[in-house]
Structure 1
Amino acid sequence: MHRRRRTALLLTAAIAAAAPLLTACGNDAHPGAAAVVGGQRITLSQLEERVGEVRAAQRAAVQNDAQYQQAIAGTGTLTRDTLHTMILDRVLHRAAADAGVTVTRREIQEMRSGLEEQAGGAKQLETTWLQQYGVPPQRLEENLRLQLEAQKLAEKLGTDTNRPEFWKALSEASKDLNVDLNPRYGTWDVQKSSRADAKTPWVRDVSAAQAQQSM
């Protein structure tokens, strides 16, 4: 369980922060895109939808507006973290495919059953994944596939997810996919297969302020 939790923490986004009220893309080469991975766009609307899923699940999980506002105030990078997860999912899937790694539906179900047993039930597992990793219930099995791909890729390489050999495989996949981020969301570090904030103080993320105004 501990290894699975470390992997999940490594590969998933933080929980909700601010409403996904996004303006037009600032990347002239890819208008309307939050990122382009392997020639395929992750659009602003797709990113907005994913962020909205977390916010909706978070709102349903608390008892009152005060708790909801506290959760929002406590985590301010949901949009960027969600985009990071969406990109890393594609990078990891490419690295796993290159290594001949596949994950079956049965393996996902077995992992879920084991985690539910340890968490004390299906609802408790969903709550844990939402609170700790920012994964809404409808994305739980998708995230478990991500965890299994990471574990099986590491095993195929004779290493684990904390070792340089694992991240080298992801780095190669990042290079092949030519990850290109909208500058608003930073840059993609190919060596670390991770999003990094760009040093552009004139770019301001206004989503948190807009979220407060819209409530």
Structure 2
Amino acid sequence: MHRRRRTALLLTAAIAAAVPLLTACGSDAHPGAAAVVGGERITVSQLENRVEEVREAQRAAVPDEAQYQQAIARTGSLTRDTLHGMVLDRVLERAARDAGVTVTDRDIQQMRSGLEQQAGGAEALEAAWLQQYGIPPQRLEANLRLQLQAQKLAQRLGTDTSRPEFWQALSEAGKELDVDLNPRYGDWDVEKSSRVDAKTPWVQDVTAASGAPAAL
């Protein structure tokens, strides 16, 4: 479970403390896009929908208002973390495809069954993935597919997901895809395969008093 948890942390949106939210003025290179990966747009609307899925799952899991507000505070950077995960998912998929790695539905079910046994059931696993990694129940199997892609890619490379060889493969895939983030969400560091905060003079930090994600 330790290796799987470490992999999940590498490949999913991190649960972090509230940080300043970004608003940007100026023209976007890709209007309406949060990012462009391999010539395909991740739209702001798609990003907002993914964030809303997490918020709805958090609300259902903790109906008490005070607990819900605490969950929001713990995931104040959810919008940018979610975009990071959406981009990294596509980079990983490209790296896996380049290496000839495939994942079957049977692989996913076997992994899920094992995790459910360790967690104490399906609901417990879903709750753990939501709390620890910000993955709502309806995205769980898609996330497990990515975990398996990462594991199989590392095996194909003769390494593991913590080693430079694995991340070099992701870096090369990111270069092929020519990842381009909307500056309001930061920049993409292709060498580290990670979203980083943009350092541009026309980006203004605005801290939302409620801790909720900014209206995009």
Q: Which amino acid aligns with 1:78?
A: L
Partner residue, 2:148: 148
* Separation (CA, whole Å) in 2 of partners of 1:41 and 1:25: 20
Q: More displaced, 150-159 or 60-69?
A: 60-69
> Is 1:193–2:208 an aligned residue pair?
no
Q: TM-score, normalised by structure 1?
A: 0.91
Distance 1:168 1:48, change over 3 A: same
Residue 10 of structure 1, CA deviation: 1.1
Distance 1:190 1:212, change over 3 A: closer
> Is 1:70–2:70 an aligned residue pair?
yes
Superposed CA offset, 1:113-160 (max 9, x none) = 000000000000000000000000000000000100000000000000
1:13 is paired with a residue whose SS is coil
* Separation (CA, whole Å) in 2 of partners of 1:121 and 1:205: 42
Q: Which amino acid aligns with 1:164?
A: P
Partner residue, 2:120: 120
* Separation (CA, whole Å) in 1 of partners of 2:57 and 2:15: 10
Which runs of 5 or more residues in structure 1 are unaligned?
none
Q: Which amino acid aligns with 2:147?
A: Q
Residue 72 of structure 1, CA deviation: 1.0
Q: Which amino acid aligns with 2:4?
A: R
Which runs of 5 or more residues in structure 2 are unaligned?
none
Q: Which amino acid aligns with 2:75?
A: T
Q: Which amino acid aligns with 2:179?
A: V
* Separation (CA, whole Å) in 2 of partners of 1:180 and 1:117: 40
Contact preservation (8 Å) 1:22, 1:44: no
Superposed CA offset, 1:44-70 (max 9, x none) = 000000000000000110131111111
Contact preservation (8 Å) 1:16, 1:55: no
2:162 is paired with a residue whose SS is coil
Superposed CA offset, 1:17-62 (max 9, x none) = 88xx998995522000000000000000000000000000001101
Q: More displaced, 194-203 or 29-38?
A: 194-203
Partner residue, 1:87: 87
Partner residue, 1:51: 51
Contact preservation (8 Å) 2:88, 2:193: yes
Distance 1:25 1:114, change over 3 A: farther
Q: Which amino acid aligns with 1:187?
A: D
Distance 1:185 1:213, change over 3 A: closer
Provide the aligned C-alpha RMSD in A. 2.5
Contact preservation (8 Å) 2:24, 2:204: no
Q: TM-score, normalised by structure 2?
A: 0.90
Contact preservation (8 Å) 1:26, 1:184: no
Which segments of structure 1 move beyond 3 Å, counting only runs of 4 or more?
Answer: 15-18, 21-27, 204-214
Identity of aligned residues (%): 80
* Separation (CA, whole Å) in 2 of partners of 1:201 and 1:22: 12
Contact preservation (8 Å) 1:15, 1:78: yes
* Separation (CA, whole Å) in 2 of partners of 1:96 and 1:25: 37
> Is 1:104–2:104 an aligned residue pair?
yes
1:199 is paired with a residue whose SS is coil
> Is 1:181–2:181 an aligned residue pair?
yes
Distance 1:28 1:143, change over 3 A: same
Distance 1:47 1:212, change over 3 A: closer
